[in-house]
Amino acid sequence: MIHASLKDLSAALAAKKVSAVELATLFLDRIEKLNPTLNAFVSVDRDKTLAMARDADARRAAGETGPLLGVPLAHKDIFCAEGWLTTCGSRMLSNFVSPYDATVVRNFKQAGAVTLGKCNMDEFAMGSSNETSFYGAVKNPWDTARVPGGSSGGSAAAVAARLAPAATGTDTGGSIRQPAALCGFTGLKPTYGVVSRYGMIAFASSLDQGGPMARSAEDCALMLNAMAGFDERDSTSLERPVEDYARDLDQPLAGLRIGLPKEFFGAGMDEDVRAAVEAALAEYRKLGATTVEVSLPNSGLSVPAYYVIAPAEASSNLSRFDGVRYGHRAAEYGDLNDMYSKSRAQGFGDEVKRRILVGTYVLSHGYYDAYYLQAQKVRRLIADDFAAAFKDCDVIMGPTSPSTAFRLGEKAADPVQMYLSDIYTIAVNLAGLPGMSVPCGFDRQGLPVGLQIVGGWFAEAKMLNVAHQYQRATDWHLRRPALAE
């Protein structure tokens, strides 16, 4: 059962081959056994989980059906969940029990999914390796001496090690796709505004987007069907017709035009990654697709633009954590300003402090025009590049990450090298486009390689079709680490 797809788990529940309680217990036992090694979960509450499972079984017994009814899932600890500790991987929120559900969590509850727990993450989603968490680094199930990627590293390790059939994640600059690549499964960042951000603790409000993390494109489609939809409580949520994201999965790929940005295939990519991506492109040609060269001339500016815009928004968003209403408060302080200063100094980690300082600087008088405004102009140019490229192709492909999983601590002392881990993913967030990563091979050390698929705005169903057809022709997404046996 631990290797079954969401569709198969749902079918087993419907056929009464297994109960939701039995399924939940199976995965809870795996979490208890393997989490001390992987550090993928921050919070697990067996009683809460089993109560949800019993409720799902009762709903099925009453005649209710649904593709996720009784299916266990994990949530990134950035999503508020009523009655659950919701820490965002930070000491600042280490004692915060959410009084309400994020819309994403509520949607899954309504669908009958069972929450297994809350997954570890880089502090306030700031990181590419899951080493900035207050709760310690998450380990990659393929090699526990390596990072799982970030910031959704706990969700990634949980899915890869079969501690959960699927999990939620968030992607601000690649934080679903990069860990999906490094841990060998499928992750999807939807178009900005498709999934509600209500109750998702904000890092960079114009970039953050929740999405599914699962073993296959088909599983991601089932999850996105539950996650997506207009939410009047989120001012960035888009009011659009309800979609079935699984509707095109079985469409053939004959005539598909794949754009290959020349900027994604230059220097800086590991040769093993290049070989795996080129082999995946050859497979797509066998499936009837054609490839064309396209250009994203401003993509090289995506990293500097991102690291102006994202910290600026973070400095504004994180100002709410002041030790007054909730979260960490310093035990000793003089006056109000001293309480603010000490609470934040103690509550935030180094990476969060670094980004707050950068963000405050670029928004300050005299520097706003020189940095923040210019970065927003570059952002528009990047979006225009994608719009021009999609005139010549249906989807864009390339590597998700320039390398496979690197060793724990290898880049921790060099923030610039860490930031460059997201060099192929960040432009997608700046443009608000959907992007996904699918497994496409391994390097010589047996570590997974991810292929990135980028679509036009609201092209999630098309991308899932493109990924699903590839996964029907290959078995990379079925490979699993020894820990998952």
Please pick, among 10, 129, 152, 175, the residue that the annotation labels catalytic.
175
How far is residue 141 from each of residues 37, 179, 353, 361, measured CA to CA in Å?
Answer: 9, 12, 30, 39
Answer yes or no: 175 catalytic. yes
Compute the Cα dihedral for 6, 10, 12, 13 and give only its sign. positive
- Number of domain units in the chain: 1
Answer yes or no: 315 catalytic. no
| Three-state DSSP class for residue 200 | strand
How far is residue 191 from each of residues 206, 210, 454, 460, measured CA to CA in Å?
Answer: 12, 10, 10, 8
Q: 143: which strand partners?
A: 140
Is 456 inside any structural domain?
Answer: no
Is 367 inside any structural domain?
Answer: no
Is 85 inside any structural domain?
Answer: yes
Answer yes or no: 7 catalytic. no
| Three-state DSSP class for residue 338 | helix
Check if the beta carbon of residue 333 is closer than 8 Å to that of residue 342: yes
Please give the pLDDT value at position 374. 97
Please pick, among 76, 118, 342, 462, the residue that the annotation labels catalytic.
76
pTM of the shown model = 0.97
Please pick, among 151, 315, 343, 403, the residue that the annotation labels catalytic.
151
Q: pLDDT truncated to tens, each residue of the chain (485 aa)?
A: 999 999 999 999 999 999 999 999 999 999 999 999 999 999 999 999 999 999 999 999 999 999 999 999 999 999 999 999 999 999 999 999 999 999 999 999 999 999 999 999 999 999 999 999 999 999 999 999 999 999 999 999 999 999 999 999 999 999 999 999 999 999 999 999 999 999 999 999 999 999 999 999 999 999 999 999 999 999 999 999 999 999 999 999 999 999 999 999 988 899 999 999 999 999 999 999 999 999 999 999 999 999 999 999 999 999 999 999 999 999 999 999 999 999 999 999 999 999 999 999 999 988 999 999 999 999 999 999 999 999 999 999 999 999 999 999 999 888 888 988 899 999 999 999 999 999 999 999 999 999 999 999 999 999 999 999 999 999 999 999 999 88
Please give the pLDDT value at position 456. 98
Q: Can you point out the beta strands (E) in 22-146?
A: 41-43, 72-76, 114-119
Is 394 inside any structural domain?
Answer: no
Tell me the residue range of the domain where 94 lies. 6-254
CATH number of domain containing 84 = 3.90.1300.10
Q: 195: which strand partners?
A: 228
Note the residue count of the chain. Answer: 485
Is 143 inside any structural domain?
Answer: yes
Burial class from Cβ neighbours inside 10 Å (0-12, 13-18, 19+) for residue 421 reads buried
Is 471 inside any structural domain?
Answer: no
Check if the beta carbon of residue 360 is closer than 8 Å to that of residue 297: no
The label of the residue with tokens 């000491």 reads: 91
Is 379 inside any structural domain?
Answer: no
Closest by CA position to 226, among listed 214, 251, 244: 244
The label of the residue with tokens 């994180």 reads: 318
| Three-state DSSP class for residue 256 | coil
Is 141 inside any structural domain?
Answer: yes
H-helix or E-strand containing 187?
strand 186-189
Please give the pLDDT value at position 412. 87
